[in-house]
Amino acid sequence: MTAFNQTVLLTGGAGYIGSHTFMALSDAGFTPVILDDFSNSHPAVLDRLAHLTGQRVLCERGSVIDTGFVAQVIRRHQCVAVIHFAGFKAVGESVQQPLKYYHNNVGGLVSVLQAMQTAGCQSIVFSSSATVYGDPDNVPITEQCPCAPESPYAHTKLMCEDILTSLRASDPAWRVGILRYFNPVGAHPSGLIGEDPDGIPNNLMPYVTQVAVGRRDKLNVFGNDYPTPDGTGIRDYLHVTDLAEGHVAAVRALLARHDSFTVNLGTGEGTSVLGVLHAFERASGRPIPFEFAPRRAGDVAEYFADVSLAKTLLNWRALRTIDDMCRDSWHWQQSNPDGYRNMAPHDLNVLQTNSLLSNHDGSRQPAASA
């Protein structure tokens, strides 16, 4: 089935992974439409996407909790599939505020599914996470590994997977693609879109890039006494563009074969914290000061994927290396020291404000004025 101009809705599409998936879908000939409330993203990304694609970016501002609004958007754009990114993802915050996570992450998915049913769209790709596995007994981790979530955030992801499984069991017309991400890092090679966390980054790569650009003094390496070759934690880092292309492969599989699947998206290789740090120093040409600190609660020693099922079912595998990830992360951060904040006005003029923001009440405005 050709992608030509088929419309795909991206809930949370203005975020880090959503914006990169927007680019991958556009490159593949689909028409992506963003639905975002900008509670955890910035409208400035819309102008960057317009610049990169050379086309008007379709974006509907509103909440996934508003079922009627979501159904209206699906109908308006005649979406053939939905990729559901919208959700909170800070593990630590989920421990402090579990209800916020259950309401937004689980309630949000239920609302989107109800809206899809109303609007007659029954193909969904769901952004899940490898954290559903908890602390695995063995690595590499396959999709058959037992799930043992250890945070409210991880529980919301597994509950969403269970909801999708029940829905499909009730009505086989539903086509469901569940993608369990390992550790997404990196940025679009243009340096125009990338990861832009609020406040102090929880995750390794954005913290390293902020040290390199001078926003942070040094990296705290959480633990150097793990049972790993250099004593630091090992993870499966995946270039965000590889991850985005995995979503395109998942949409194609749902539309072409009407089947459903749950697959890991990773490289199948592990890299230690010090391994990332040294790769980043090579990519940036800058030393990254660090100190060893106590282990972080909830961290595990080693975590990487068995990715054979994604290759078999989606004909997808990661193509980019840890050096590519560091190079692109550095290009983004060096080009945008403050991320999307404080974008100088001339940036918007240069980037041709072609994006159009539809507000909930149907009014429209250029994204730059948002």
Residue 69 or 88: the one with the smaller Cβ distance to ligand WQD is 88
The catalytic position among 16, 101, 133, 153 is 153
DSSP for 141-176, please give it. Answer: BPTTSPP---SHHHHHHHHHHHHHHHHHHH-TT-EE
Binding mask 92-131 for ligand WQD (x = CB under 6 A): -------------------------------------x-x
237 is catalytic: no
Q: How many residues bind ligand WQD (CB under 6 A)?
A: 19
Residue 131 or 260: the one with the smaller Cβ distance to ligand WQD is 131
From candidates 89, 216, 320, 331, binder to ligand WQD by CB under 6 A: 89
| Extended strands (E) in 69-122 | 81-84
**Nearest residue to ligand WQD, using CB?**
233
From candidates 84, 155, 235, 239, binder to ligand WQD by CB under 6 A: 235
Distance CA 205, CA 239 (A): 11
From candidates 218, 258, 282, 296, binder to ligand WQD by CB under 6 A: 296
183 binds ligand WQD (CB under 6 A): yes
Which residues does residue 176 pair with via DSSP β-bridges, in sequence order? 124
Return the DSSP state at 181.
Answer: E
From candidates 39, 220, 312, 359, binder to ligand WQD by CB under 6 A: 220
Helices (H) and strands (E) in the chain, counts: 13, 16
Minimum separation from the CB atom of position 268 to ligand WQD (A): 16
Minimum separation from the CB atom of position 110 to ligand WQD (A): 20
From candidates 117, 149, 215, 222, binder to ligand WQD by CB under 6 A: 222
Place of tokens 């086509």: 175
Query: CA geometry: angle at 320 spanning 35 and 25, to 5°?
Result: 30
Residue 28 or 204: the one with the smaller Cβ distance to ligand WQD is 204
85 binds ligand WQD (CB under 6 A): no
Please tell me the total number of residues recorded for the chain in this structure: 370
Q: CA quadruple 128, 133, 135, 139: dihedral positive or negative?
A: negative
207 binds ligand WQD (CB under 6 A): yes
From candidates 10, 25, 81, 91, binder to ligand WQD by CB under 6 A: 91
339 binds ligand WQD (CB under 6 A): no
Instruction: Supply 261's token pair.
Output: 């699947």
98-105 contacts: CB < 8 A, separation 24 or more? 98/152, 101/152, 101/153, 101/156, 102/152, 102/156, 102/159, 103/65, 104/65, 105/153, 105/156, 105/157, 105/160
By CB under 6 A, name the binding residues for ligand WQD. 89, 91, 129, 131, 181, 183, 202-204, 207, 219-222, 233, 235, 273, 296, 299
**Known catalytic residues?**
153
